[in-house]
């Protein structure tokens, strides 16, 4: 395995001689590998997703997975005759996660090498090691939250939303209105801190600084009079997206200083990215202060930079390490989207 401390978010499995013993197209009497169901369930309960990249006949293989009782565990399965690297790339785009957060399991060295050559950041392991997966550090998140346990189900809800969106005839905002979205913002409570830590670790694309904070650090901010720690949750007619956003604000005499701002990539296309920011700007303006915000360029957070600029933040300073200090005079604050019911608790 490649040396890395980054948590794995998804395990992608081959099928023949990996998920099951034997080759399906040679015999439909294949059986699941001993102990494999337990591995799938244990990782799933930790919020780790599963998918498939296999050269097989789609309908035949999917029917066998259903017959074996494990089809529900695999999101966005790629069962076709493409190169495995192409299938892995498709899964990564559908899940919208980094390639360095994916593990690929295959019994064939050639297939692992082909995938690794196309995607250098991925972790590839031999199928013979599957029983060891639950013990690997990168597959053992520090906390297992309610959102972790429901992660696969939330992605399945996302698939339903995507199907409905693709079939919808009309303007995008009309579709978004049909979802009956509710966005709740409140001060983080102690019971929110495990999820808050998880958000700082897992969120990369919409994370303004790329910084991570552990439970104790977040709790110190939560109970301090000098800081405000906000967390938000999104629901719609399909269910809850979970707690999807976090903000840490330092309260100074002459300004509010936004030290951390992040939003789960799973809600990027729901038009909710500006809601938490607009709330902070509104409250800062009521307090008669200006708003400062920290930003640091990473490999993946350009979208957050664009969001700051779109919200009328101006660069005050920038150092050689890429750290930017933004300032906002709060003369322009975007209203909440009309299709979202925003509640401040």
24: which residues sit within 8 A by CB, 6+ positions away? 15, 16, 30, 56, 57, 60, 61, 64
pLDDT score of 2: 41
pLDDT score of 4: 62
Helix, strand, coil abundance in the chain, percent, nearest 5: 40, 25, 35
- Alpha-carbon distances of 131 from 17, 43, 198, rounded to whole Å: 14, 11, 26
User: With a cut of 70, which residues of the chain have pLDDT below it?
Assistant: 1-4, 204-205, 269
Which domains are seen in the chain, by residue range? 10-139 (3.40.50.1000), 146-344 (3.40.630.30)
pLDDT score of 239: 87
What span, in angstroms and rounded, lies between the C-alpha atoms of 205 and 302? 7
pLDDT score of 3: 47
Token pair for 217: 């650090």
pLDDT score of 335: 92
């Amino acid at each position: 395995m490649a040396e890395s401390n980054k948590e794995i978010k998804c395990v992608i499995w081959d099928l023949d001689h990996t998920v099951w013993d034997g080759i399906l197209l040679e015999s439909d009497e294949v059986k699941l590998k001993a102990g494999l169901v337990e591995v799938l369930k244990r990782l799933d309960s930790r919020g780790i997703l599963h998918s498939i990249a296999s050269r097989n006949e789609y309908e035949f293989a999917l029917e066998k997975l259903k017959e074996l009782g494990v089809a529900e565990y695999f999101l966005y399965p790629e069962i076709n005759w493409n190169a495995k690297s192409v299938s892995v790339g498709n899964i990564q785009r559908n899940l919208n996660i980094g390639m360095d957060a994916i593990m690929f399991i295959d019994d064939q060295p050639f297939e692992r090498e082909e995938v690794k050559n196309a995607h250098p950041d991925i972790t590839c392991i031999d199928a013979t090691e599957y029983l060891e997966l639950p013990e690997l550090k990168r597959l053992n998140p520090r906390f297992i939250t309610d959102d972790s346990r429901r992660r696969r189900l939330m992605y399945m809800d996302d698939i339903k939303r995507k199907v409905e969106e693709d079939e919808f005839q009309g303007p995008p905002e009309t579709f978004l209105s049909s979802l009956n979205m509710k966005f709740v913002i409140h001060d983080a409570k102690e019971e929110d801190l495990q999820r808050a830590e998880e958000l700082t670790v897992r969120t990369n694309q919409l994370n303004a600084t790329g910084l991570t904070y552990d439970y104790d650090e977040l709790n110190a901010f939560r109970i301090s009079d000098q800081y405000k720690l906000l967390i938000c949750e999104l629901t719609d007619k399909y269910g809850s997206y979970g707690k999807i956003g976090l903000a840490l604000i330092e309260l100074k005499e002459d300004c509010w200083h936004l030290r951390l701002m992040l939003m789960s990539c799973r809600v990027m296309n729901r038009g909710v990215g500006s809601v938490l920011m607009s709330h902070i700007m509104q409250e800062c303006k009521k307090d008669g202060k200006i708003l400062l915000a920290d930003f640091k360029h990473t490999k993946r957070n350009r979208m957050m930079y664009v969001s700051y600029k779109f919200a009328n933040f101006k660069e005050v300073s920038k150092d050689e390490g890429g750290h930017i200090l933004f300032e906002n005079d709060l003369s322009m604050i975007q209203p909440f989207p009309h299709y979202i019911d925003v509640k401040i608790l």
